Amino acid sequence: MDPSKRQKYVLVTGGAGYIGSHTVVELLSAGYAIVVMDNMYLNDINIEALRRVERLSGRPVQFFKGDVTCVSDLQRVFSLYNFWAVIHFAAIKAVGQSTRIPLDYYYNNVTGSLLLLRVMKEFNVKNIVFSSSATVYGEPDKCPVDETARVGPVTNPYGRTKLFVEEMLRDLCASDPDWNACLLRYFNPVGAHPSGLIGEHPQGIPNNLMPYVIRVLQGRSPYVHIYGSDYDTVDGTGVRDYIHVCDLATGHVAALKKLDTKPGCVAYNLGTGVGLSVMEIVKTMEKATQKKIPYKIEDRRPGDIATCTADASLANRELGWYPTRGVEEMCEDMWRWTRKNPMGYDGEILVSDEDDDSS
Ligand code: UFG
């Protein structure tokens, strides 16, 4: 018998992306047998990301090129390997873009998830970790927000795709006790692997704060636009719960272990519980980089809320998961990745003497 049929694998959809690639490193170091399925939307960028993951972990990554919206791709990968669980990252994620091309978002994120679940059912694979978002809470009534808070109304199509897939998984688990789903609600993922080998590949002008700050540090934009200084927060600027991408990655390993206990459908916040204002982020980044960061205070951004932080005590208790990296580390790691890879994966990796101590 083909050995790949006997061994039990975890399928990681979207494993060549930002959070996916960091999670693959953690899964490999925890000893999981995995297969990455990715449509390689960014071609060479995604290929290079996986190459670096292999370099970091010293292990080959089994890879299948395929798209979650293509049933024959899904059926092919499920017939090639014996999966026991799926970690489902594959999705598009730009809030602003989702308001312009909502059908692409519903197709990729909702239809893609639906087709994946149908093929999982066909092959009797009924364990899934789903990449969700704190955006499902819309504007929470209280912060820190816990998982008992109501979900929605959500203010943009991207967020609604996450909420719809959560609801689909809830219905599915209620219909059949063999299904188990961990819905991981990410707060604000930032940072990069401390090696500086993998990180977030910049695409166009970023909407999110941290990648925009990086862009200013690189001299590619003149200043940071601070959207609002009159919120009811510590210094008037918006407060968020930033979480290091490597902590997020270990959250997925913990969720995978949880699936073994047959929990049914459970949602977990993945955040630190620490709220940081835009100004605090700018100042910490200045310290990490030893550079001045110019900024301008502007009007509030439509749709933004004052504060959004996580009560992650359920994940602490039930998954035994605790984030360990603070904001300084987030900024330092992000800067190391940027210095080594000014154009992301698109270009030569630059190494200087001061990088030698990075592991
Ligand atoms: N901000 C600025 N200037 C910028 C960008 C952002 O001042 O150039 C401010 C925002 O007003 C907000 C904070 O920085 O106060 C964080 O904004 P981000 O755009 O980085 O992140 P959001 O909290 O708006 O949204 C992010 C993800 C969503 C996800 C959500 C979950 O982009 O996909 O976190 O909490 F749903």
Please write the tens of the pLDDT for every residue from 243-297: 999 999 999 999 999 999 999 999 999 999 999 999 999 999 999 999 999 999 9
The encoded tokens of residue 95 equal: 């809030």
Positive or negative, the CA dihedral 301, 102, 201, 218 is negative
Q: Is the CB of 91 under 6 A from ligand 1?
A: no
Nearest C-alpha neighbor of 69 from the set 102, 118, 34: 118
Count of beta carbons in the 10 Å neighbourhood of residue 206: 16
Q: What is the pLDDT of residue 43?
A: 85
Mean pLDDT, the chain, as a whole number?
95
259 Cα to the center of ligand 1, angstroms: 31
Phi, psi of 133 (to 5 degrees): -150, 150
Q: What is the pLDDT of residue 358?
A: 40
Q: Is the CB of 225 under 6 A from ligand 1?
A: yes
Q: At residue 3, does pLDDT exceed 70?
A: no
Nearest C-alpha neighbor of 279 from the set 329, 238, 322: 238
Q: What is the pLDDT of residue 203?
A: 85
Beta strands (DSSP E) in the chain are 8-13, 34-38, 62-65, 82-88, 127-133, 180-186, 188-190, 224-227, 239-240, 242-244, 265-270, 276-277, 295-298, 307-308
State the pairing for strand pair 62-65/34-38.
parallel
9 Cα to the center of ligand 1, angstroms: 35
Q: What is the pLDDT of residue 355?
A: 52
Q: At residue 224, does pLDDT exceed 80?
A: yes
Single-letter code of the amino acid located at 36: V
Q: Give CA separation, 246 vs 106, 175, 333, 334, in Å.
A: 28, 34, 10, 11
Q: Is the CB of 134 under 6 A from ligand 1?
A: yes
227 Cα to the center of ligand 1, angstroms: 10
User: How far, in Å, CA of 266 to CA of 248, rounded?
Assistant: 17
Structural element, H or E, at residue 332: helix 327-340
Q: What pTM value is reported for the model?
A: 0.96
Query: Which residues lie across from 186 on neighbouring strands?
Result: 133, 270
Q: Give CA separation, 339 vs 140, 287, 336, in Å.
A: 37, 15, 5
Mutate to test the pocket of ligand 1, among 240, 245, 295, 308 (most ligand atoms within 8 A of CB): 240
Q: At residue 356, does pLDDT exceed 60?
A: no
Q: What is the pLDDT of residue 357?
A: 43
Q: What is the pLDDT of residue 46?
A: 87
Q: At residue 353, does pLDDT exceed 60?
A: no
The encoded tokens of residue 43 equal: 């071609």
Percentage with pLDDT > 70 across the chain: 96
Count of beta carbons in the 10 Å neighbourhood of residue 149: 16
Average pLDDT over residues 145-170: 96
Q: Is the CB of 40 under 6 A from ligand 1?
A: no
Q: Is 10:32 a contact under the CB 8 Å cutoff?
A: yes
Structural element, H or E, at residue 337: helix 327-340
Residue nearest to atom 7 of ligand 1 (CA): 226
Q: At residue 17, does pLDDT exceed 50?
A: yes
**Per-residue pLDDT band at 155 (split at 50, 70, 90):** confident
User: How far, in Å, CA of 106 to CA of 98, rounded?
Assistant: 9
239 Cα to the center of ligand 1, angstroms: 9
Single-letter code of the amino acid located at 300: R
What's 196's DSSP letter? Answer: S
Q: At residue 204, does pLDDT exceed 80?
A: yes
The yes-or-no answer on residue 158 being catalytic is yes
Mutate to test the pocket of ligand 1, among 301, 327, 330, 331 (most ligand atoms within 8 A of CB): 301
> How many residues does this entry show for the chain?
359
User: Of the residues 158, 242, 268, 345, which is catalytic?
Assistant: 158
What's 235's DSSP letter? Answer: S
208 Cα to the center of ligand 1, angstroms: 5
User: How far, in Å, CA of 21 to CA of 13, rounded?
Assistant: 10
List, for residues 58-90, the tens digit of each pLDDT value: 999 999 999 999 999 999 999 999 999 999 999
Q: What is the pLDDT of residue 276?
A: 98
Q: Is 125:86 a contact under the CB 8 Å cutoff?
A: yes
